[in-house]
């Protein structure tokens, strides 16, 4: 018989049940923006989410992150029902478990590369430790950013994207969500950060979910779903 999952593994299982998200259009008519009946990811799964622009890929990631709440259904991370938590507790859950690569990056222009990468540490400490600084510098080097002291305001869009990816990995999160993480990168850098995302997840046993149009990134995933007009296939 197969071995039962460990308590730690069960505590990091992601389960979406009967998820629906409704919106109103300009005429006040309700339409279904996303419909995912069931999705179960064991810890350590690498999932690719594909589909045309506007199909709901980003919406799905925002629901999993607790940045949006579904109109119906539940999203659970282990024993925690993320979708039922009040806002403050969802914020706490994200700080403890999540690394998110946003399409819009959300960097602080006045901070340098290393400061932006280490930004998650500021939520739990006033001062960055020397080991934290070393990790930020190592991640900057790993994504090909040679000058960690350049301000984010003067970086190219591709450089900003690499900073955002490194920042998402800084605290070695248990769940990594990446929204089009290679969209602004040339082929070489896209391959490099794709490899980094997969390696980082494998090293810590994290669950990785990438929404992407990039076939090379999607090919690195162990599972894949396609979204069409908000419906999962």
Which regions of the chain does DSSP assign to beta strands (E)?
14-24, 30-41, 46-50, 72-77, 80-81, 98-101, 175-179, 207-211, 223-228, 231-232
User: pTM here?
Assistant: 0.90
Query: Over its length of 233 residues, how does the chain's per-residue pLDDT go in tens digits?
Result: 444 444 455 568 999 999 999 988 878 788 888 999 999 999 999 999 999 988 999 999 999 999 999 999 999 999 999 999 999 999 999 999 999 999 999 999 999 999 999 998 876 655 778 888 999 999 999 999 999 999 999 999 999 999 999 999 999 999 999 999 999 999 999 999 999 999 999 999 999 999 999 999 999 999 999 998 777 77
Indicate the CATH number for domain 45-67+95-232: 3.40.50.300
* Domain limits, the chain: 45-67+95-232
């Amino acid at each position: 018989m197969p071995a039962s999952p460990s308590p730690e593994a069960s505590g990091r299982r992601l389960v979406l049940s009967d998820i629906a998200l409704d919106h109103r259009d300009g005429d006040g008519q309700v339409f279904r923006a996303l419909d995912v009946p069931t999705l179960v990811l064991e810890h350590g799964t690498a999932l690719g989410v594909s589909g045309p622009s506007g199909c709901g890929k980003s919406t799905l990631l925002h629901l999993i992150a607790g940045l949006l709440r579904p109109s119906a259904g539940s999203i659970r991370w282990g024993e925690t029902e993320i979708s039922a938590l009040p806002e403050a507790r969802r914020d706490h859950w994200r700080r403890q478990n999540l690394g998110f690569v946003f399409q819009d990056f959300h960097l602080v222009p006045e901070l340098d590369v290393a400061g932006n990468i280490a930004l998650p540490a500021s939520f739990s400490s006033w001062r960055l430790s020397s080991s934290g600084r070393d990790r930020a510098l190592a991640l900057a080097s790993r994504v090909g950013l040679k000058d960690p002291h350049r301000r984010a305001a003067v970086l190219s869009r591709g450089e900003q994207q690499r900073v955002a990816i490194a920042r998402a990995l800084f605290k070695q999160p248990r769940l990594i969500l990446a929204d089009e993480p290679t969209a602004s990168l040339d082929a070489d850098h896209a391959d490099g950060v794709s490899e980094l995302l997969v390696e980082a997840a494998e090293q810590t046993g994290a669950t990785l979910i990438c929404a992407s149009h990039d076939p090379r990134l999607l090919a690195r995933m162990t599972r894949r779903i396609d979204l069409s007009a908000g419906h999962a296939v």
